[in-house]
Amino acid sequence: MPLRPELTNASVPLLDEVEVVDELGHARAVHIPGERPLTVYLDKRELVTLMTLGGAPEALVLGYLRNQRLVGSIEDIASVQVDWETESAAVTTRAGIPDLDEKTAHRTVTTGCGQGTVFGSLMDEIDAVHLPPEARITQTTLYRVVDTIRLQQSIYKQAGSVHGCALFDAQGELLMFIEDVGRHNAVDAIAGRMWLEDMAGGDKVFYTTGRLTSEMVIKGAQMGIPFLLSRSGVTQMGYRMAQRVNLSLFARCTGRHFLLYTGRERFIAEPGMAAVVGPRGELPQPAESGR
253 is catalytic: no
Rg (CA), the chain: 20
**Cα distance between residue 232 and residue 216, in whole Å:** 12
Residue of 30, 32, 100, 113 marked catalytic: 113
Q: Quick count: other Cβ atoms within 10 Å of Cβ 196? A: 17
Residue 119 Cα to chain centre, angstroms: 18
Q: H or E stretch including 159?
A: helix 155-159
Cβ proximity of 248 and 266 under 8 Å: yes
Give Cβ neighbours of residue 132 (< 8 Å, ≥ 6 apart): 202, 203, 224, 226
Cα 291 to Cα 148, 287, 288, distances in angstroms: 29, 12, 9
21-39 b/e with 16+ CB inside 10 Å = b? eeeeeeeeeeeebbbeebe
CB atoms within 10 A of CB 17: 9
| Residue 81, φ and ψ in degrees, nearest 5 | -115, 110
Backbone torsions φ then ψ of 92, nearest 5 degrees: -115, 125
Three-state SS at 191: helix
Q: Which residues are known catalytic residues? A: 113
